[in-house]
Amino acid sequence: MRRPVLAVTCLLALAGCGSPAAGTARPAPTTTTTASTTSAAPTTVAPPAVTTTTPAPPPPPAKPQRVVVLDPGHNGANAANPGAINKPVPAGRGKTKPCNTTGTATNAGYAEHAFTWDVSVRVRDLLAAQGVQVVMTRPDDNGIGPCVDQRAAIGNQSGATAVVSIHADGSTDAGAHGFHVAYSAPPLNEAQGEPSMRLATTMRDTLVSNGLATSTYIGSAGLSPRADLGGLNLSERPIVLVECGNMRNATEAAAFTSPQGRQNYAAAIAAGILAYLA
Exposure b/e, 185-196, CB count within 10 A at least 16 = b: bebbeebbbebb
DSSP designation for 179: B
**Contact set for Zn ion, span 207-226 (CB under 5 A):** none
167 is a site residue for Zn ion (CB under 5 A): yes
181 pairs with which residues across the strands? 223, 242
Pairing of strands 95-98, 88-92: antiparallel
For the CB of residue 115, give the shortest distance to Zn ion in the complex, in Å.
9
Stretch (H or E) spanning 269: helix 259-277
For the CB of residue 57, give the shortest distance to Zn ion in the complex, in Å.
49
Alpha-carbon span 225 to 187, nearest angstrom: 10
For the CB of residue 104, give the shortest distance to Zn ion in the complex, in Å.
7
Whose Cβ is closer to Zn ion: residue 100's or residue 192's?
A: 100
Whose Cβ is closer to Zn ion: residue 28's or residue 182's?
A: 182
Whose Cβ is closer to Zn ion: residue 7's or residue 122's?
A: 122
For the CB of residue 102, give the shortest distance to Zn ion in the complex, in Å.
9
Alpha-carbon span 127 to 15, nearest angstrom: 53
Alpha-carbon span 108 to 222, nearest angstrom: 26
SS3 state at 220:
strand
**Contact set for Zn ion, span 255-274 (CB under 5 A):** none
103 is a site residue for Zn ion (CB under 5 A): yes
Site string for Zn ion, 232-251 (x = CB under 5 A): --------------------
Size of site (CB under 5 A) for Zn ion: 3
Just list the catalytic residues: 243
For the CB of residue 243, give the shortest distance to Zn ion in the complex, in Å.
7
Segment lying near Zn ion (by CB under 5 A), choices 60-68, 76-84, 85-93, 96-104: 96-104
Task: Answer yes or no: are the C-beta atoms of 179 and 246 closer than 8 Å.
Answer: no
**Contact set for Zn ion, span 16-75 (CB under 5 A):** 73
CA distances from 163 to 67, 193, 256 (A): 9, 14, 22
Q: Give the interface with Zn ion as residue ranges (CB under 5 A).
A: 73, 103, 167
